[in-house]
Amino acid sequence: MENKNKTIKIIAENKRAYFQYHVLDRWEAGIVLIGAEVKAIRCGQMNFKDSYVDSNGSELFLIGFHIPAIVPFGSYVPDRKRKLLLHKSEINRIIGKITEKGLTLIPLRVYFLNQNVKLEIATAKGKTNYDKRRTIQDRESKLEMKRNQW
Protein backbone atom coordinates (compact mmCIF):
# COMPACT_ATOMS: atom_id res chain seq x y z
CA MET A 1 0.00 0.00 0.00
CA GLU A 2 1.41 3.35 -1.03
CA ASN A 3 1.88 6.28 1.28
CA LYS A 4 -0.51 8.99 0.08
CA ASN A 5 1.33 11.76 1.94
CA LYS A 6 3.95 12.45 -0.71
CA THR A 7 5.96 15.58 -0.02
CA ILE A 8 7.93 17.01 -2.92
CA LYS A 9 10.71 19.53 -2.34
CA ILE A 10 12.18 20.86 -5.58
CA ILE A 11 15.93 21.41 -5.30
CA ALA A 12 16.84 22.58 -8.81
CA GLU A 13 15.19 23.03 -12.19
CA ASN A 14 16.78 23.07 -15.63
CA LYS A 15 15.15 26.18 -17.13
CA ARG A 16 17.59 26.24 -20.02
CA ALA A 17 16.18 22.93 -21.29
CA TYR A 18 12.78 24.51 -21.96
CA PHE A 19 14.47 27.16 -24.11
CA GLN A 20 16.64 24.77 -26.13
CA TYR A 21 14.24 21.83 -26.55
CA HIS A 22 10.62 20.93 -27.21
CA VAL A 23 9.83 18.71 -24.20
CA LEU A 24 7.65 15.72 -25.13
CA ASP A 25 7.39 12.91 -22.54
CA ARG A 26 8.48 12.94 -18.89
CA TRP A 27 9.60 10.22 -16.48
CA GLU A 28 10.56 10.11 -12.83
CA ALA A 29 13.81 8.26 -12.08
CA GLY A 30 15.89 7.56 -9.02
CA ILE A 31 19.63 8.26 -9.01
CA VAL A 32 22.39 6.09 -7.55
CA LEU A 33 24.28 8.48 -5.23
CA ILE A 34 26.72 8.22 -2.35
CA GLY A 35 26.11 9.94 1.00
CA ALA A 36 28.31 12.97 0.38
CA GLU A 37 26.55 13.65 -2.92
CA VAL A 38 23.18 13.67 -1.18
CA LYS A 39 24.55 16.19 1.34
CA ALA A 40 25.69 18.44 -1.52
CA ILE A 41 22.30 18.16 -3.24
CA ARG A 42 20.52 19.07 0.01
CA CYS A 43 22.65 22.24 0.07
CA GLY A 44 21.61 22.95 -3.54
CA GLN A 45 25.12 22.61 -4.92
CA MET A 46 24.75 21.06 -8.36
CA ASN A 47 24.97 22.09 -11.99
CA PHE A 48 22.75 20.93 -14.87
CA LYS A 49 24.81 22.67 -17.55
CA ASP A 50 25.43 20.37 -20.54
CA SER A 51 24.03 17.31 -18.78
CA TYR A 52 22.15 14.60 -20.65
CA VAL A 53 21.04 11.00 -20.29
CA ASP A 54 22.70 8.25 -22.32
CA SER A 55 21.86 4.58 -22.72
CA ASN A 56 24.43 1.84 -22.28
CA GLY A 57 22.79 -1.38 -23.42
CA SER A 58 19.81 -1.81 -21.10
CA GLU A 59 20.72 0.90 -18.56
CA LEU A 60 20.44 4.68 -18.47
CA PHE A 61 23.20 6.95 -17.14
CA LEU A 62 23.21 10.65 -16.28
CA ILE A 63 26.28 12.29 -17.81
CA GLY A 64 27.65 15.78 -17.15
CA PHE A 65 25.68 16.36 -13.95
CA HIS A 66 28.16 18.20 -11.72
CA ILE A 67 27.90 17.80 -7.94
CA PRO A 68 30.89 19.55 -6.28
CA ALA A 69 32.67 17.74 -3.45
CA ILE A 70 32.03 19.11 0.03
CA VAL A 71 35.37 18.68 1.80
CA PRO A 72 34.31 17.66 5.36
CA PHE A 73 31.91 14.96 4.17
CA GLY A 74 34.18 12.94 1.88
CA SER A 75 35.67 12.96 -1.55
CA TYR A 76 34.26 11.69 -4.85
CA VAL A 77 34.45 12.45 -8.55
CA PRO A 78 32.10 15.41 -9.18
CA ASP A 79 31.40 14.62 -12.86
CA ARG A 80 31.05 10.83 -12.76
CA LYS A 81 28.37 8.91 -14.65
CA ARG A 82 25.40 8.28 -12.38
CA LYS A 83 23.07 5.35 -12.97
CA LEU A 84 19.34 6.05 -13.20
CA LEU A 85 16.83 3.73 -11.58
CA LEU A 86 13.76 2.91 -13.68
CA HIS A 87 11.66 -0.16 -14.38
CA LYS A 88 12.89 -2.38 -17.21
CA SER A 89 9.77 -1.74 -19.30
CA GLU A 90 10.22 2.04 -18.95
CA ILE A 91 13.88 1.79 -19.97
CA ASN A 92 12.98 -0.27 -23.06
CA ARG A 93 10.25 2.21 -24.03
CA ILE A 94 12.61 5.19 -23.60
CA ILE A 95 15.44 3.58 -25.58
CA GLY A 96 12.97 2.69 -28.34
CA LYS A 97 11.75 6.29 -28.61
CA ILE A 98 15.27 7.68 -28.68
CA THR A 99 16.52 5.37 -31.43
CA GLU A 100 13.36 5.47 -33.54
CA LYS A 101 12.59 9.19 -33.65
CA GLY A 102 16.02 10.73 -33.09
CA LEU A 103 15.09 12.35 -29.79
CA THR A 104 17.36 13.07 -26.85
CA LEU A 105 16.96 12.58 -23.10
CA ILE A 106 17.51 15.57 -20.84
CA PRO A 107 17.18 16.13 -17.08
CA LEU A 108 14.53 18.69 -16.13
CA ARG A 109 14.57 18.91 -12.34
CA VAL A 110 15.95 17.34 -9.18
CA TYR A 111 13.72 17.00 -6.15
CA PHE A 112 13.20 15.09 -2.94
CA LEU A 113 10.18 12.80 -2.85
CA ASN A 114 9.77 12.09 0.85
CA GLN A 115 13.43 11.19 1.65
CA ASN A 116 14.56 10.02 -1.81
CA VAL A 117 16.38 12.06 -4.45
CA LYS A 118 14.47 11.89 -7.73
CA LEU A 119 15.26 13.19 -11.20
CA GLU A 120 12.67 14.14 -13.78
CA ILE A 121 13.90 13.28 -17.26
CA ALA A 122 12.22 13.98 -20.57
CA THR A 123 12.47 13.05 -24.20
CA ALA A 124 13.03 16.22 -26.17
CA LYS A 125 13.60 17.48 -29.67
CA GLY A 126 16.01 20.34 -30.27
CA LYS A 127 14.63 23.73 -31.26
CA THR A 128 15.87 25.62 -34.29
CA ASN A 129 16.95 29.24 -34.13
CA TYR A 130 13.60 30.58 -35.35
CA ASP A 131 11.81 28.48 -32.70
CA LYS A 132 14.01 30.06 -30.03
CA ARG A 133 13.29 33.55 -31.36
CA ARG A 134 9.58 32.73 -31.34
CA THR A 135 9.85 31.67 -27.67
CA ILE A 136 11.51 34.97 -26.79
CA GLN A 137 8.83 36.93 -28.68
CA ASP A 138 6.02 35.08 -26.89
CA ARG A 139 7.61 35.69 -23.51
CA GLU A 140 8.08 39.41 -24.23
CA SER A 141 4.51 39.80 -25.49
CA LYS A 142 3.12 38.17 -22.32
CA LEU A 143 5.25 40.50 -20.22
CA GLU A 144 4.02 43.52 -22.19
CA MET A 145 0.38 42.46 -21.71
CA LYS A 146 0.94 42.21 -17.96
CA ARG A 147 2.46 45.70 -17.90
CA ASN A 148 -0.49 47.13 -19.82
CA GLN A 149 -2.99 45.66 -17.39
CA TRP A 150 -1.67 47.77 -14.53
pLDDT, one tens digit per residue, over 93-110 is: 998 888 878 788 999 999
Q: What are the residue boundaries of the structural domains of the chain, listed by start? A: 8-149
CB atoms near residue 2 (< 10 Å): 5
CA distances from 50 to 3, 90, 99, 114 (A): 35, 24, 21, 28
Q: Provide the whole-model pTM.
A: 0.79
Q: Residue 3 has what pLDDT?
A: 55
pLDDT, one tens digit per residue, over 111-131 is: 999 888 999 999 988 888 888
8-149: CATH topology? Small Protein B; Chain: A; (2.40.280)
CB atoms near residue 100 (< 10 Å): 8
* CA pair distance 32, 109, nearest whole angstrom: 16
Nearest C-alpha neighbor of 27 from the set 66, 63, 64, 60: 60
* DSSP for residue 127: P
CB atoms near residue 85 (< 10 Å): 15
| Cα first-last separation, the chain | 50
